[in-house]
Amino acid sequence: MLGIRIRKAWLCLAPGYENWSEEACIVHAPTAGKARYKCFKDFQDAWDDIAGSDLLKVRVRRLSESDIELPMACPSIGELTKQQIHIIKHTYGVDSREPGHRNYYYCSLKKKELLGLVKIGLMHPGEQRWTKGSGYFSLNDRGIEVARSMIPTYLR
């Protein structure tokens, strides 16, 4: 098992609101200040009358029970080509708002890069679907662990 990284959770409350349990939102950020700013930017998008001085009125509390644990980078990543890393990230949705929401890659069943990932034990072989000679490849448990280690600690 790899070490872990923590994506810290914060509870933010907008200026003028008092009820932490019903009116607050959860954000993930490395510090309270970054969480406050992230919430403030979201509030600015929603409300026309929020001013720059309201940034300091956004209240923030640490919410460790909503932290997200991510594995450290797998040493085997260094052995992968850029194309293989791209395929693993795409398959798992690493760069999306919800990494892990998917686990498939649709392409030719003869695609060299995918067959290479099957051979080194990171993917299941493709299953034919839709058109002859094409199908879905998916990450196996080891591949998912590698993909999860590629998830950024904090999303942009």
- The residues near 71 (Cβ < 8 Å, ≥ 6 apart) are 1, 2, 3, 4, 5, 145, 148, 149
- The residues near 36 (Cβ < 8 Å, ≥ 6 apart) are 12, 55, 58, 60
List per-residue pLDDT tens for the chain, 156 residues long: 568 999 999 998 887 777 667 667 888 999 999 998 888 888 777 777 777 777 778 889 999 999 999 889 887 788 899 999 999 999 999 988 788 899 999 988 889 999 999 999 999 987 777 678 888 999 999 999 999 999 988 877
Burial of 79 (0-12, 13-18, 19+ CB in 10 A): exposed
How many other β-carbons are positioned within 10 Å of the β-carbon of residue 135? 20
